[in-house]
Structure 1
Amino acid sequence: MTEEEAKAEREEAERLIAQINHLKGQIERALIENRNLQNELVTLVENVYELAQRTAAMDVEVNQSMAYVQKRVKEVDISTSELFALIDDLTNSYFAFKNLSTATKNVTQFTDEYFTKFKFYHELRRISLGYVVGLDAHICSDETMRKKVESIYLQNTEYWLAYASMAVMLWANNEEEAAKRAMTKALSKDYFSSALYFLLVNLRFTRVDAAKKWYLCYLDRVDMENLGDEWQYLLQAYLSGVFGVDKEFHHLIHQCFTDLLTQMESMHPQYGNRVIDKTMVYSNSYIHVTDYEFETLRRHCTEYEELKNLLSQAEKNEVLAMHFRKVWEDRTKPESDLFQRIENILYNLINAYDKEEFKVIKNRRYNEMIITAKGDLNRAQQFFNIEYPVEKMTRSLDNLLFQWAFEENDDRVDISVKKFAISYLKKWIIKGFMQYGETYRREEKEKYEISIDGWLGACDENSYEDTKNELENYYNNNRILDTLKDKFVLIFIGMIFSALVVLAITMFHFNKIPLVIGILLGVVGGFLLWRRIVDMQSILRAKRENGCLLLKTALDELKEWRKLYKAEDAKNSDLVQVFENIES
């Protein structure tokens, strides 16, 4: 064998070996792919099994969902009026919540404004009282106090207390001319508050003769038919006995108040009736909204607001009784020390709101009333107009007595003044509250109108069976009308009518396509109309059952309302009893 042949055989052998190796590789790859295919087949079989299980579960879920949807559709079909009523309630709740939110924000805003804008007022009050009674002697020197007051004094503020305090400081330092100028300035800003302030300061330092002179200055300028708010501090001083340091002075004050009360009753013979009327107005407008809600009555009683208002009116008996009982049972004893009593009156006088302050306080109070009235702007405005009349009220003693007796803000009227006013007016207040009870009782009805699905009937809480029969007769008499009013019935009738129109046209202009369309439209419309009429029977039956259930629930709620109302109404006698137990 030649070398070339040997070389050719080697090359052929190498080629064959390479082919064999290539085939082995292909076989191995085929085996691997086969194993992968087997694994994929097993996975696919498992996936198909899992898919079958999930499909079954989905079928159950879909069926349940469809059943729920069908139920909800039927409910809406039965009670669309309830749906609209709920939408209205949601709208009203939204606006009430919006009013509450705005009022809450405004209360915070006006509170911040009060303590920011009138910050120096509060500081001046502390300094003034501290200087007179020596309360702040351990905190700062007289000189420091004087510098702070002087800085406010030199700003030409409109606040009378700055000038009155400066006058006292200058007087204490024997700067007579400067003290007179400051005193004159104080009197020009607020004559009556300044005069009373100087009266009390002189009493505090046992300068009785000077105090008498200031009292006479006060009486010389005051109009008894148009008194100021500061009159209550003079009454507080008299009631606390601070004028007892001098018998003549005490007798003078006593005679003044006695003559004023006698004059008031002689000049206003109908004063008692006015107090009765004012008590009635106050009670009716007093802000209180019951926490009780009766959902079914709210949606189906046309007089629900009257029911709720009547219960709120009756609940006021307990609220007002608690308020006046708390006032009268207040056991705060007057200070045994004469100087301490004078200081307490000075404190009240100094802390009385200035005109600009009072504007902010009124704005804050109005928003607090909105919150109390649960967003009812009309109710809040009514009570606000009573507490802060738009028209300037003549501030005669008769009006002030009523204002003091019914003042809710303890910061504005001292408890001794409140008690005096209440004890003096109690015989008329009793009649006013008794008439208040009689007034709202006349608004109670034996029967109230209930409206369900267009039916309207007057019924009481014990007339369920008779009312139920009326309601069922209403449903039975309106079955055909309710069926014809159904939108699907109207659509299917429209389909049948359209089919008749198409067929009528083909009678004159024959065409196969419109003929087929008309026949199919008529057949489908007729079939769907028949099915809908069948469905409407069950819908109307469910509607009747739902209506009867609503009627029963409404009457049960009416019974509960009546029970609550009677219980609260009985407390009117407790309110009257509070005043009957008061000693004149």
Structure 2
Amino acid sequence: MSERTISTANLNRIENSLSSINNNITVIHNQVATVEQQLESTQSDLELLAVEFREYVRQDALVKNVQLAETRLVKVRQELENKYGHYEDVRRKALGILQAVDSSLVRKSTIESASEEQLLAAPRYWLAPCLIALSAWLSDNKELAEKAVIEALRRDDEKTSLFFALVTRRGGRYQSSRAWLERYLGQQDPTELKREIVVLIDSFSNGIFGPEARAKCGLLVKTWLEELSQKAGFIELQRDKWKQALLSRKETLSPAQFPHLQRYSPTWPQLQEVLEGAKLHDIVFQYFNFILTQEIVPSKNLAFAVDQLLDILVSEFDEDELPLRREERLNELIIKQDGDKNLAQNLFVNEKILEERFDFTQLLTNFSMYPAESNASIATQKLAIALSKEWINHAHHDLTAENRNAVPVNVEITLEDWTGSSRDGSNEGELITSLKQHIQLTKEDALLRNKLGFRHWLSLTAGIVFFVFGISTIVLLIVSALCFLVFFNGMRNVKKNVSIIEQNYDELLENHQQILVAVLSDIVDYRREYEIEDANASKLDDLLDQITPEQYTYSTHDTARAVIS
């Protein structure tokens, strides 16, 4: 009886010790779980901090790029002012002399004095001797006028010829104007046209030189195009040029469009590319339609129109300024793009408006697609589009065919480790069944893997062995009890995990079903929108088929019939 009492007491002590050990193990387990959670949180915070730091560095670089571009822009403009600021004075004097002749409010001696001062202030500028020639003509000083003209031609034959073509046309001297214009045109190479040709095309488009000169320009344009078209690969080159020009109008889709497709479809980059390509049809149509339907508002009078062309000639298209103008434009683009130098450089290269020489077709492209930078009037834009319509159509057809061929037949969908595909969202039932089967198999696999591990079975075996050999030894019994505790604790966790696994996969299935339905809905909307946008491809053909170059050689200053033949 006494031995049983002692034995019972000893077992109670063992049970209490085991209970205490179990509590300690539970506490330690909770502490370990807390530490793991803290580590995960710390790691997440570090990743977020790294992302924020990289973004900070990027933003800081962009800000510095903008600041540097602003500093350089100020410096470039100061240099332009210092080196070429006196050109502005010469230009003002040139226009002032012309206006003075109109109003007869300035004495000839004053005009002569002002012209001579400009010649001294601008010793290399071609326009300065032109002013001397103008003042000499006003004073009937033929000898001085001829000397001044010869000096101006020596400094810049082409600009001087164009200048006097404009001036004599302004004064109504048609024969002299045509002579100067023929001299100017005779120096032109359609493969290497200088920037002043912009002024001529603009004046030709607006009828500044009158019907006879306009007809001659029309014939010249046709000759240039025929000459260029004889070159091998010309058509292909024009297609490529216009493809790039049209693509420059492409707009990026909003991130808010088709959010589920963007997140859950590996096909999204391709889908985005072709939809942006389809949207380009309407963008290009609206752009050309706006230009072609714009009303050409004629200048108030011929003198004012010529003044505008003279202003462009002497201020915007002087070769000496080109290097600084290029640098100025690049820095403007960097500022405009918030410091993104790569994007600014790409835009700068694509514009191709600051080159020193152009071929005629590139000039037409610039007039059509970059009117602000190329100083093209509405009339010039219309003419350029009409002359280029065949190349525009070819390029647009190529882009349309390439875009249609790139449309994915099936849209891939990825939800974690499940993948599926749909053409138009009509196989929703099939995909949901596939998703359910996949999740069911995954759940079953997880349940199969939810079992006692090697250490649990080892603990059970060790517990039995220690119990058998340690009936009369307290220490072995304690060890045996600990082994059994590990085993039964594992059994309890396995049973507990079964319900957790089932609940998690049920929630996963419900969540994935909702996402899948949303993705399929996006696919339906995407296909519908693509069809609508792609149908706009024919609108550009219809628009361009209606126009001819003859329509846009209308003169705003005379009513003569304009024909290019």
With structure 2 as the length reference, what TM-score do the two structures score?
0.69
- Post-superposition Cα deviations, 1:355-413, rounded to whole Å, max 9, x if no partner, equal 12431354156548857xx98967x77665443399x8983323333333333436532
- Post-superposition Cα deviations, 1:495-532, rounded to whole Å, max 9, x if no partner, equal 74895798699799996575555444444344334323
Q: Which residue pairs with 2:414 in the alignment?
A: 451
CA 1:389/1:112 → structure 2, altered by over 3 Å: closer, same or farther?
Answer: closer
Is the contact between residue 133 and residue 343 of structure 1 (CA under 8 Å) also seen in structure 2? no
Bigger relative contact order, structure 1 or 2 (CA pairs below 8 A, ≥6 apart): 2
Is the aligned partner of 1:343 residue 2:312?
A: no
Q: Which amino acid aligns with 1:233?
A: V
The Cα shift of 1:564 comes to 1.9
Q: Give the Cα separation in 1 of the matches to 2:334 and 2:363.
A: 25
Is the contact between residue 434 and residue 576 of structure 1 (CA under 8 Å) also seen in structure 2? no
Q: Give the Cα separation in 1 of the matches to 2:112 and 2:169.
A: 24
Q: Which amino acid aligns with 1:395?
A: F
Q: How does 1:542-553 map to 2 (within 5 A)?
A: 542-553=507-518
Is the contact between residue 284 and residue 540 of structure 2 (CA under 8 Å) also seen in structure 1? yes
The structure 2 residue matched to 1:168, chosen from 130, 133, 143, is 130
CA 1:387/1:92 → structure 2, altered by over 3 Å: closer, same or farther?
Answer: farther
Q: Give the Cα separation in 2 of the matches to 1:320 and 1:448.
A: 28
The Cα shift of 1:236 comes to 2.3
Q: Which amino acid aligns with 2:360?
A: L
Q: How does 1:9-88 map to 2 (within 5 A)?
A: none
Q: Which residue pairs with 2:260 in the alignment?
A: 296
Is the contact between residue 280 and residue 433 of structure 1 (CA under 8 Å) also seen in structure 2? yes
Q: Give the Cα separation in 2 of the matches to 1:521 and 1:222.
A: 97
Q: Which amino acid aligns with 1:562?
A: R
CA 1:480/1:117 → structure 2, altered by over 3 Å: closer, same or farther?
Answer: farther
- Post-superposition Cα deviations, 1:184-222, rounded to whole Å, max 9, x if no partner, equal 58865x654454334423444556666556445534543
Q: Give the Cα separation in 2 of the matches to 1:503 and 1:542.
A: 39
Is the contact between residue 130 and residue 136 of structure 1 (CA under 8 Å) also seen in structure 2? no
Q: Give the Cα separation in 2 of the matches to 1:94 and 1:569.
A: 41
CA 1:425/1:102 → structure 2, altered by over 3 Å: closer, same or farther?
Answer: farther
CA 1:111/1:530 → structure 2, altered by over 3 Å: closer, same or farther?
Answer: farther
Is the contact between residue 411 and residue 422 of structure 2 (CA under 8 Å) also seen in structure 1? yes
The Cα shift of 1:235 comes to 2.2
CA 1:257/1:305 → structure 2, altered by over 3 Å: closer, same or farther?
Answer: closer
Q: Which residue pairs with 1:360 in the alignment?
A: 327
Q: Which residue pairs with 1:582 in the alignment?
A: 547
**Secondary structure of the residue that 1:286 maps to in structure 2?**
coil
**Secondary structure of the residue that 1:242 maps to in structure 2?**
coil
The Cα shift of 1:574 comes to 2.2
- Post-superposition Cα deviations, 1:288-315, rounded to whole Å, max 9, x if no partner, equal 1122522221111001111222221111
Is the contact between residue 162 and residue 180 of structure 2 (CA under 8 Å) also seen in structure 1? yes
CA 1:329/1:101 → structure 2, altered by over 3 Å: closer, same or farther?
Answer: farther
Is the aligned partner of 1:432 residue 2:395?
A: yes
**Secondary structure of the residue that 1:313 maps to in structure 2?**
helix
Is the contact between residue 301 and residue 451 of structure 1 (CA under 8 Å) also seen in structure 2? yes
Q: Give the Cα separation in 2 of the matches to 1:525 and 1:260.
A: 90
Q: Which residue pairs with 1:541 in the alignment?
A: 506
**Secondary structure of the residue that 1:457 maps to in structure 2?**
strand
Is the contact between residue 333 and residue 348 of structure 2 (CA under 8 Å) also seen in structure 1? yes
Q: Which residue pairs with 2:384 in the alignment?
A: 421
Q: Which residue pairs with 1:196 in the alignment?
A: 162
Larger radius of gyration: 1
The structure 2 residue matched to 1:233, chosen from 192, 199, 205, is 199
Q: Which amino acid aligns with 1:399?
A: Q
Q: Which runs of 5+ in 2 are unaligned?
A: 1-36, 41-47, 550-565
The Cα shift of 1:131 comes to 3.2
User: How many positions carry a matched residue from both structures?
Assistant: 484
**Secondary structure of the residue that 1:450 maps to in structure 2?**
strand
Is the aligned partner of 1:528 residue 2:493?
A: yes
Q: Which residue pairs with 2:91 in the alignment?
A: 128
Q: Which residue pairs with 2:122 in the alignment?
A: 153
Q: Which residue pairs with 1:399 in the alignment?
A: 362
Q: Which amino acid aligns with 1:240?
A: N
Q: How does 1:235-314 map to 2 (within 5 A)?
A: 235-244=201-210, 253=217, 255-265=219-229, 267-268=230-231, 271-291=234-254, 292-314=256-278
Name which of structure 1's ranges 249-258 and 445-454 shifts more when overlaid on structure 2: 249-258
The Cα shift of 1:256 comes to 3.6
Q: Which amino acid aligns with 1:359?
A: R
Is the contact between residue 282 and residue 537 of structure 2 (CA under 8 Å) also seen in structure 1? yes
Is the contact between residue 296 and residue 557 of structure 1 (CA under 8 Å) also seen in structure 2? yes
Q: Which runs of 5+ in 1 are unaligned?
A: 1-72, 77-85, 157-162
Is the contact between residue 260 and residue 519 of structure 2 (CA under 8 Å) also seen in structure 1? yes
- Post-superposition Cα deviations, 1:311-340, rounded to whole Å, max 9, x if no partner, equal 211111222112111111121233363322
Is the contact between residue 111 and residue 135 of structure 2 (CA under 8 Å) also seen in structure 1? no
CA 1:234/1:408 → structure 2, altered by over 3 Å: closer, same or farther?
Answer: closer
Q: Which amino acid aligns with 1:153?
A: A
Is the contact between residue 447 and residue 501 of structure 2 (CA under 8 Å) also seen in structure 1? yes
Q: Give the Cα separation in 2 of the matches to 1:144 and 1:89.
A: 68
Is the contact between residue 369 and residue 384 of structure 1 (CA under 8 Å) also seen in structure 2? no
Counting aligned pairs with the same residue, the percent is 17
Is the contact between residue 126 and residue 160 of structure 2 (CA under 8 Å) also seen in structure 1? yes
**Secondary structure of the residue that 2:193 maps to in structure 1?**
coil
